[in-house]
Structure formats: C-alpha cells, structure tokens
Structure 1
Amino acid sequence: MSQSTSIPKKQLRVRDHGFDNYMEIEKKMRKVLKFQSLILFQYNQTLPISRLDNLAGRLGFKQFEAGAFILKFPHVFEVYEHPVQRVLYCRLTRKAINQIMQEKEALLAQIPDAVTRLRKLIMMSNEGRLRLEHVRIARYEFGLPDDFEYSVVLKYPQFFRLVDAIETRNKYIEVVDRDRKLTVCAIEKVREREYREKGMDAEDVRFKFLVNFPPGFKIGKYYRIAVWKWQRVPYWSPYEDISGYDLRSIEAQKRMEKRAVASIHELLSLTVEKKMTMERIAHFRMAMNLPNKLKGFLLQHQGIFYVSTRGNHGKLHTVFLREAYWKGELVEPNGLYLARRKLCELVLLSSRKANVDRGLVRYRRDIEEDEMEHFRRDCAEDGFEGGKEGKEGEREDDLSCDACSDFTDDDDDVDDIEKAENAQLNG
C-alpha cells in the first residue's frame, strides 16, 4: 500500500479531552439514572435506606457504596426521616422530578421527528427492515419512547409494518413506502452549506466529509495527500440499493469503504445527541454492510469520528460525530437534548450548594420570626413611651403589652384604647 494513494489503516488513537470529560459526566449520569429508575419503581416512589444495599447490588454497587453515592448528589436524591415510623427513606428531589417531567414532555413533543428518524434508519438497511430488538436496544439514542412498538410502529401503519420471521422467530420492522425526500443525507446538507458559504470548488466538495483532527494528531505530507485523494473518491449513498452492482473490483471496494463512513455518519446524525456506543452500532453491521473490525475502521477516520473509552472501566466505546460538537456542546441542540442536560446540571451541582439552599429556607423562616418579634417589641416600646407623657402618678401596667397586642387587631379596638388614654389624661 502506497502512502500517497490511501489512508493508513493502522492509526494510533489520539485522545480528545473535551469528549473524554463529557464521558466522565455521562458515566455519573448513567448511575444516577439507574438509581432513579430503582426509586420510581418502588411503592410511593420512596426507598428505605435499610433496603438500599440489597437493591443497589443489582446495579453493581458494593456494600455501603450505594449510600455514599446518593449523598454525593443531594440535588437529585433526598434522605429524610419518616414522621411516623422514624425510619430513614430516600426519594427524588423536586428538581429531579421536574427534570423527569420536562424530559417526558420533550420526548412526546418530538414524536413526529422520531417517526422520521426511524423511517430513515430502516431505509438505510439492505432489505428495508430491521430487527425490533436491535431498535429497542438503541431506542434511547434515537429518541423513541419505551413503548415505541405500540406508540410509534403500530400507531403509524402508513409508514411501518411489523412482521414475524418464520425462520428466525424474530420480529422485524419494515418500511411501507420509501419516500425519496427522506433519502437526503445529513452530510449532503453540510456540503451544500459549505459550498454556498465558502465558495469552494464543486469537484472538491462533491464527495467531501468535514475533517477536524483532534489536538496533537500528527499530519504528515503523505497523509495529507492521501486524505485529499480519499475525499474525491465517489461512493454510493447509504440509502441506495447496491444489490445490482459488482463489488469485486478495487474501485467498488473503495466506494464501499467510503459508503460505510457515510452510513455511520448518517447513523450518528439520526441520534438525539449525535453519539452512540460502538456496541450498539455493531447491531446494525449486517443490515448496513459495516466493517467487521469496527473499532479499527473508526480509528482510521479520526477526523470524522471520535471513539472514547471513558466509562465502564474502558469496556464501553462511545462514538461521537466530531462536526456536531463544539467545546463539549451540540452545535444544533434540540429540546430532548436540553431536557437531558438538566439532569447533568443537577449532578454537577455541589453538595455545598444544596446545604446553602436548605440554609436559605431556614434563614427565611428565621427572618420572618425575627421581623414579627421586632414588630411586637416596637409596639411595646411605643406604648410605654406614650404612658410617660401622662401624669406622673400613672402606672406602667395601664399601657402594657396586652394593649399593644390588641393594637394589631381591628380599628374598633384602636378607638377604645385612645378613649381610655384620653380619660386617664383628663383624670
């Protein structure tokens, strides 16, 4: 293989700390989501602390580790004492419940977009159908509800058809009609925008992918030439039927390789957060003609994708679409993404801030009590001074605090007090 004609297949992975830091937060959020689901499935959505270790063992936590984990996120989990049983319980905070409701509303609001994404996803397959179980595993990434089989697939019979395969006993989702308007890839829209904004040569932009290498990636002279030649190689669209082509030639293999890049690019573009685990991408490998050695293939194109190994002790690989992110945030965020990031904000808030919030509640209550006490004291002092202006033989008990307390009740009581004072002064 000449260095000037193709991209080297063996590439060292260069870390991008922006995406790795993103995954460090994502790792905490996955554990928090597991605890949330555990609490929401309990009776009255509360969990006794005594049962916490036994139930959290199913989530992979060791003994006494679950309690310490909950105390790290006081903005999400709240530990309180039952007023009757005098037993410690755990429940979700008001902020966490509001975030869950906001995410549910955003999920229901984008159901029409999820239907379009599912149609495009099925149209990318070779046979126009995908296994129901594979879509179910990746439903979170594509913004599909948990009951999407009924609320999406069976609800829209004009778009989808649910069939049973007799030979494999698996359920498949088939697309009813292939709409030509949905066969436009996301990269094609990006190319059009680049062509209009930058005025580049049409021949160079026609089959180009946006390449943004991570910091520290070494780009030599021959590698740069190889990338330039690879960018000009034509390829078949992921939505195009290639069953009638002869794929044995070298030119066809180059086109298929670039088509695999376009397929993964389009697959990530259909997700809500423009990222997906490599293990879930592998479920669509046979249906979309993706390479067998998927990790090596993705590392060969580090300027387009980024593979992060953070999370689950390096056993989990998350693939990001580099062009969709800027400084750790989505360039074009959507409502569901913003609702999910609210949980991230609650996770990142420190426990000191939670203590400050609780202190502010007590502080406001103390302020109200101090104001009432100060008001009573002022009333008492004003009444005492008014008594001194009378005759010397007047007793202090005649204008005691009882009169001041009556002063705040009604206007009739005020008139009675004034009449009594005038009577005493006129003696």
Structure 2
Amino acid sequence: MRTFISHASKLLSTSKTLTRSMSQSTSIPRKQTRVRDHGYDDYMEVEKKVRKVLKFQDLILSQPTNMISVSRLDSLSRRIGFKQFESGRFILKFPHVFEVFEHPVQRILYCRLTRKALSQMGQENEAMLRQVPDAVTRLRKLLMLSNTGRVRLEHVRIARREFGLPDDFEYSVILKYPEYFRLFDADETRNKYIEMVEKDCGLGVCEIERVREREYREKGYDAEDIRFSFIVNFPPGFKIGKYYKIAVWKWQRLPYWSPYEDVSGYDLRSLEAQRRMEKRAVAMIHELVSLTVEKKITLERIAHFRMVMDLPKKLKEFLLQHQGIFYISTRGNHGKLHTVFLREAYKKGELVEPNELYLARRKLAELVLISPRKARLDKELVSYRRRGDEDDHMNGVERNYSDDDFEVKGNVESDTESGEESDGDSAYSDTGDISD
C-alpha cells in the first residue's frame, strides 16, 4: 500500500511539472524578479538632484526681487521636506546654479540664480513655446487613448511636465484650441474634465507601428514576424530560459487590438480575447510613455489613467512581465518613486531621438553635475584676469612671477578638470549597456 501511494505521488509530481512546463511555454510568467539596469538608475540619481534644484528655483523665483535671504530660504525649504540648515549646504553644492552673496545694505547673505541658470531657464521656456503644436497633438492622442474620450484635468496638470505642456496649459492650450478640446465640469463628481471635440483617425497610429514599418523597410524583416511584435531588449543579467523564449516568441506573434481602436463591441469573455486585451494594455502603456517628452513617466502617474485606459490593477507586476520593453527604476525618492522608462528610446543614458525641450532640460543637469571645485577655480581665474588688466594699465609697475606660482596653479587646474570629468562619468556611468 505504501509503495502504491509513493508511486502515485511521484506520478502526480511529474504531471505537475509537465503542466508547469507547458504553461510556461504558452504564456509569459506573471511573477518576475526585477533586474536592475545601472544605466537607468544612474540617470535617476541625477534626476533626483535636478528635482530638488527645481524646487529651490521655484522658491527663489516666487520672490518679487527674484532673490531671497538664506535664513528665509531655510524656513521655506522645510515645507518641501528639507531639514533645518540643510538648504544652506544644498545650495553650496551647486554654485553654477545658485549664487550666494552679501546684501550691500542689509549685510546678510542672500541667494539668487546665476546667469547660466537663468539662461538655461530661458532656453527651456523658448523650447516649450516652440513645441506647443506638438504638445497639442500629444494631448489629442492622450484623449483618444481613453475609452470615453475624456480625462480629468487634474491628472493632466500633474503630468504636464512629462507631456511638455506649459504651466498655464488650461488657457494657452485647451481654451486656445476649441476646435480640438472642450473643458467642462462633471455634475456627479464636480471635477473638471478635458474632452476631445472630434476623433481624428489620422492620429490613430501608434509609435510602435511606425517602428515596425521602419524595421521592415531598413532591415527587411518578415512582415508576418514583426506584424504584432515589440522591440525587446532585456537588461544585463536577465535570465532567459528555454520555455521563456518560447513564451516570448508566441506572445510576439499574438494579435491584439490597437490602443486607439474601440473594443466596446467585441466579446471579451474568451481566453483568446483576454490575452489580446493584455497585450493591448502593453501597447497602451507603450504609447502613453511614447507621448512624453523624455520617454519616461512615473508609475504613479500612469495609475491616474488606469480606469480610462482599461489598464490592469497591479501595474508594477504587470510591467515586470515585460522587462525587455520597460524598465522600472526605484531611484529618486527612497524607493517610493517608480519611474517607467521605454527601453528602446534610450541608449547609453541618452535619448536615441532627442528633442529640443529634452536638450534644454539636460543643460540644467549639466550645470548640476559641474564640480564646486571647478566653480571656485573659475572665480579665481576671473579675479586673476581682472588684477592682470589693472596691472597692465599701471605705468612703471613691473609684474614678477615665480615658477612656483605656475606649478601650483597648474596642479589645481589639472586636479579640477579631472574631478569634473569623474563627476560626469560617475553620474552617467554605463555599467550595464541599456541598449542590450
């Protein structure tokens, strides 16, 4: 009897193994461990500093004179999460963005933005104004992605920076183009909504469809193989087994409905229809991230559009199933912030197809990454040149230099330059090539 039971248990375990293997060969496993990609994480480490710098810039520019005393800045910065005396140490880390000076009358320390920071802000504002027509198109496509043709105004306002919309987009974009948008208050919720006036079928082409067409024309892939496929680049160290490869191959050839297509008339009760809807959700998130300026958006802001776009409830687990298409970075806010990148849009920490607004924003990151030692050296060189000009205008005075002075200055300059390069490399290190 015991022998029969043991034999039956072995058969049962064998059948479970076969069933598990067959299930892995027909669908992508739902639970996947997240594999880190250091190229994206290093990118977010720089973004973390940039976000803090932007908060301080808003505090300074909110003052009538565009400058603020250091003591008042310290008290205001506590509202945005900084501790006491932490703001002073923070602004000193970025001398190419913030300038600390002594007020000529009050004799206390003040802070204002440098000329380089003001110039960068001007370039970004000009770039944003020039790309307003593109932002209008992105907003129209965003409304077409929703199943009702409308989205909440507050959700768009929260993500306005990602979609390249100006701060006053309610007036400069929505009310300015009444032929495209309609703004109204919902009676049941008292929330403001943006609604599209008329659906434009010419805008109903997804970004992944354009990529497929380009791949077909340039590389000559088989049309049947890439008809419903996505570009997949797994992160370094991601383990791909035999059954996983088969599941991905089958998933790539699975037909699905376009995110811009109305699926209300289809019968979605069958297993095949549910699989198509799951792949449609991947295409929906892919198109949503593609509409952003920097091809990245936080997971929390994607969740704002979950109901109107029929996205799964557990978005993080859903995206982890497709780590070859998206990457989720937890850097930037003590692991509480999840940033979703479109893997195919980045290569070695840079956008493959950069736009003007993205390049203007990256200039602020460049100012943030400049070493404070470089800033101190620049001030020394400026003061040195001024003293030299004054000495040149003095008649009868001869300048004498020693060899030691040149040696010291040469060492300082070489150390500073090497320090600056090391800061840039560490911030944008490409430990794992994000194109692989």
TM over 0.5: yes
Matched, 1:281 2:310: no
Query: Which is further off, 252-261 or 48-57?
Result: 48-57
- Matched to 1:304, the amino acid is I
Aligned to 2:382: 361
Aligned to 1:312: 333
C-alpha distance in structure 1 between counterparts of 2:138 and 2:72, whole Å: 41
Which structure is larger by alpha-carbon Rg, 1 or 2?
1
Aligned to 2:124: 103
- Matched to 2:106, the amino acid is Q
Instruction: For residue 237 of structure 1, give the secondary structure of its aligned residue in structure 2.
Output: coil
Aligned to 1:333: 354
CA apart distance, 1:377: 4.7
C-alpha distance in structure 2 between counterparts of 1:68 and 1:227, whole Å: 50
CA apart distance, 1:369: 1.6
Aligned to 1:54: 75
TM-score of the aligned structures, taking structure 2 as reference length: 0.85
Match of 1:196 among 209, 214, 217: 217
Instruction: For residue 288 of structure 1, give the secondary structure of its aligned residue in structure 2.
Output: coil
Aligned to 1:232: 253
* Higher normalized contact order (CA 8 Å, seq sep 6+, divided by chain length): 2
What aligned pairs does 1:28-427 form with structure 2 within 5 A after superposition? 28-373=49-394, 375-377=395-397
Instruction: For residue 334 of structure 2, give the secondary structure of its aligned residue in structure 1.
Output: helix
Contact 2:391 2:397 in 1 (8 A): no
CA apart distance, 1:366: 1.1
- Matched to 2:205, the amino acid is V
Instruction: For residue 172 of structure 1, give the secondary structure of its aligned residue in structure 2.
Output: strand
C-alpha distance in structure 1 between counterparts of 2:48 and 2:153, whole Å: 27
Match of 1:19 among 40, 45, 54: 40
Residue identity over aligned pairs, in percent, reads 77
Instruction: For residue 89 of structure 1, give the secondary structure of its aligned residue in structure 2.
Output: strand
CA apart distance, 1:317: 0.2
| Moved beyond 3 Å, runs of 4+ | 375-378
CA apart distance, 1:363: 1.2
Deviations 1:188-237 (A, max 9, x none): 00000111111111110100000000000011111001000000000000
CA apart distance, 1:357: 1.4
Aligned to 1:384: none
- Matched to 1:39, the amino acid is I
Query: Which is further off, 50-59 or 279-288?
Result: 50-59
Aligned to 2:10: none
Structure 1 residues 377, 89: CA separation in 2 closer, same or farther (over 3 Å shift)? closer
- Matched to 2:211, the amino acid is V
How many residues in Structure 1 have an aligned counterpart in Structure 2? 377
- Matched to 1:266, the amino acid is E
CA apart distance, 1:42: 1.1
CA apart distance, 1:180: 1.0
C-alpha distance in structure 2 between counterparts of 1:41 and 1:161, whole Å: 31
C-alpha distance in structure 2 between counterparts of 1:85 and 1:12, whole Å: 58
C-alpha distance in structure 1 between counterparts of 2:243 and 2:174, whole Å: 49
What aligned pairs does 1:5-16 form with structure 2 within 5 A after superposition? 5-16=26-37
C-alpha distance in structure 1 between counterparts of 2:365 and 2:321, whole Å: 32
The root-mean-square deviation of aligned C-alpha atoms, in Å, is 0.9
CA apart distance, 1:72: 0.4
Consecutive unaligned residues in structure 1, runs of 5 or more: 379-427
Deviations 1:225-257 (A, max 9, x none): 100000000000000001101111101100000
Contact 2:145 2:259 in 1 (8 A): yes
Instruction: For residue 275 of structure 2, give the secondary structure of its aligned residue in structure 1.
Output: helix
C-alpha distance in structure 1 between counterparts of 2:206 and 2:110, whole Å: 50
Instruction: For residue 264 of structure 1, give the secondary structure of its aligned residue in structure 2.
Output: helix
C-alpha distance in structure 2 between counterparts of 1:340 and 1:376, whole Å: 51
